[in-house]
Chains A and B, each alone.
Chain A
């Protein structure tokens, strides 16, 4: 087994075990922290796939941002950290059914797909800088780039319109 395979197993184990802990912990704060660990494992998998930008984005947005969002949501919710609350509600049967359906579709797809085994081309060392060049290139993705700022602006206005006390 090569070092990369060992690392893959370690990161997969971190991701899966942490994900399992997220759904089994009674304390929601602990669940949120395990979710951070799970996100971190996914970032490690991106590194192994030689996608440094995606790994950085994973750490930046998921480990840094989404986890803050979740922890804030926990802090702002009443009685949500009460460990005596039942861990599931009346909808768990429907939830389990949907989950089983999704899982079977995923397994069916993964088993049925013809996986190619060719080695991919080398990732250039300046891949992120190339992405930056194409992002601000008028013949590249300049328009989506500027539209993104408009979208973020709209989200900002929308967020405070909804969340402000009236």
Chain B
């Protein structure tokens, strides 16, 4: 098992190198001229208005809680999915019941407007 993870570790190192290579190469080839405009926040050539550290509405916290819940649900579904081809059909129905329960919650959330942009 550790050999399989060694491959993941290898990919991790490659990913780190690739991630680091871009800014390092860019630093090597770009002209080093610091002008104030260059240090500004920039998003698709739009200048930012006001403070960057603004406070968002607390209602967005529901979104992240919902995300976390479905994250946890996915963790429960993963082992079942890995054993799927050895299992009987009724286990699929059990899992559908599991998902439907959460889906009911999601529909309730949607109807309440908790997923709206504020």
**A interface residues with partner B (beta carbon < 8 Å):** 4, 47-48, 50, 52-53, 56-57, 60-61, 64-66, 68-69, 72-73, 75-79, 81, 123, 125-126, 128-133, 135-137, 142, 145-146, 148-150, 152-153, 155-157, 159-160, 163-165
* Contact pick for A129, options B58, B61, B86, CB 8 Å: B86
A57 touches B61 (CB 8 A): no
B105 touches A152 (CB 8 A): yes
Given A76-B55, A149-B97, check contact A129 B79 (CB 8 Å).
Answer: yes
* Contact pick for B94, options A69, A133, A136, CB 8 Å: A136
Contacts of A129 in B (CB 8 A): 79, 82-83, 86
* Cβ-closest chain A residue relative to B62: A163
A163 touches B72 (CB 8 A): no
* Contact pick for A145, options B57, B78, B98, CB 8 Å: B98
B97 touches A64 (CB 8 A): no
Would you call the interface of chain A mostly helix, strand, loop, or mixed? helix
A153 touches B67 (CB 8 A): no
Instruction: List 23 A-B pairs, Cβ < 8 Å.
Output: A65-B67, A72-B63, A76-B61, A126-B82, A132-B79, A145-B76, A146-B97, A149-B73, A149-B99, A152-B69, A152-B73, A152-B101, A153-B101, A156-B65, A156-B66, A156-B69, A156-B108, A156-B109, A157-B108, A159-B62, A159-B65, A160-B108, A163-B61
